[in-house]
């Protein structure tokens, strides 16, 4: 393909636009000033005070626990659902299930948030860690399902299970000794996506996190709302690093999966 200078510079501008806030955040995380607009000097103290902020650390632990629970639920549900959708003989109602599974992507989060809040409160279901984890799993389900579905479809052509069954394995043995290990990386990469979805989620948690459950985004929200502290930038840089690591490992998994 030929080069296109105009388009390339346009894209550079878009990338600059996308990275401008991240760059500002990074630079200002070293700013030695309480008011965040003027540059006063270089400091590491905000990073230092992050690790002594007990509230922040406990919010981090809660967010991690939540993300682990949600990604576990979402990957198990996504595995069963996408297995039936891709590997089973076509059955009546498959289209209905398929569109049902994509509903969470088509629903503004604020609608899910207030819906869950009013439903749980009216049905006298306590708002606790598990209801929040369940809601996060629901939001993440389309991500895990599509990741696993892609892998199961590509495995379908390899007919390795047929070979296993020709060699005397039952269907179940072929599933958990052949299919499951081969789909493993895709399941894990779907789980990483779900983890990220849950980790970043603010809107749903904002509405249905019960009293006493403070996740990282909720903590950041209240820091922004009541009393700005420059710690936010330092915190955001750490979170960004975590996100990059998660995404990079997910990408690596997908690539390894494609080459194997």
- Span 40-69, contacts to other proteins by CB under 8 A: none
Stretch of 42-50, 52-60, 152-160, 246-254 contacting other proteins, by CB under 8 A: 246-254
Task: Among 217, 234, 253, 257, indicate the residue that binds other proteins (CB under 8 A).
Answer: 217
Which are the contacts of 128, defined by CB distance < 8 A and separation ≥ 6? 210, 213
Stretch of residues binding other proteins (CB under 8 A), selected from 45-53, 151-159, 171-179, 181-189: 171-179
Does residue 129 contact residue 138 with C-beta atoms inside 8 Å? no
Give the nearest distance from C-beta 256 to other proteins in angstroms: 14
Q: Residues of 30-69 as b/e, b for ≥16 C-beta within 10 angstroms?
A: bbeeeeeeeeeeeeeebbeebeeeeebeebbebbbebbbb
Output the smallest distance, CB 20 to other proteins, in A.
Answer: 7
Query: How many C-beta atoms lie closer than 10 Å to residue 198's C-beta?
Result: 28
Q: Is residue 89 part of the contact set for other proteins (CB under 8 A)?
A: yes
Both tokens assigned to 245: 């690591």
What is the spatial distance between Cα 137 and Cα 131, in angstroms, rounded to a whole number?
10
Closest separation between CB of residue 106 and other proteins, Å? Answer: 6
Nearer residue to other proteins within complex by CB, 34 or 88: 88
Report how far residue 100's alpha carbon sits from residue 98's, in angstroms, rounded to the nearest whole number.
5
Q: Of the candidates 46, 233, 253, 257, which one interacts with other proteins according to CB under 8 A? A: 233
- By CB under 8 A, residue 107 contacts other proteins: yes
Site for other proteins in 184-213 (CB under 8 A): 196, 200, 202-203, 207
């Amino acid at each position: 393909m030929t080069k296109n200078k105009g388009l390339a510079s346009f894209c550079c501008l878009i990338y600059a636009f996308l990275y401008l806030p991240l760059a500002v955040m990074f630079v200002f995380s070293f700013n030695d000033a309480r008011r965040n607009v003027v540059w006063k000097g270089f400091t590491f103290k905000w990073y230092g005070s992050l690790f002594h902020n007990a509230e922040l650390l406990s919010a981090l632990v809660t967010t991690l626990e939540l993300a682990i629970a949600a990604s576990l639920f979402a990957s198990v549900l996504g595995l069963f659902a996408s297995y039936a959708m891709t590997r089973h003989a076509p059955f009546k109602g498959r289209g209905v299930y398929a569109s049902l599974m994509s509903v969470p992507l088509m629903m503004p989060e604020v609608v899910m948030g207030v819906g869950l809040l009013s439903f749980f409160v009216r049905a006298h279901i306590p708002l606790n860690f598990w209801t929040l984890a369940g809601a996060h799993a629901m939001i993440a389900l389309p991500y895990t399902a599509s990741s696993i579905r892609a892998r199961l479809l590509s495995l379908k052509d390899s007919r390795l299970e047929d070979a296993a069954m020709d060699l005397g394995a039952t269907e179940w043995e072929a599933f958990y000794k052949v299919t499951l290990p081969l789909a493993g990386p895709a399941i894990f990469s779907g789980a990483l996506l779900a983890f990220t979805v849950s980790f970043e989620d603010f809107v749903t948690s904002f509405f249905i996190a019960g009293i006493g459950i403070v996740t990282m985004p909720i903590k950041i929200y209240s820091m922004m709302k009541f009393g700005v502290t420059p710690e936010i930038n330092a915190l955001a840089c750490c979170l960004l690093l975590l996100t990059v690591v998660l995404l990079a490992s997910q990408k690596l998994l997908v690539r390894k999966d494609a080459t194997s």
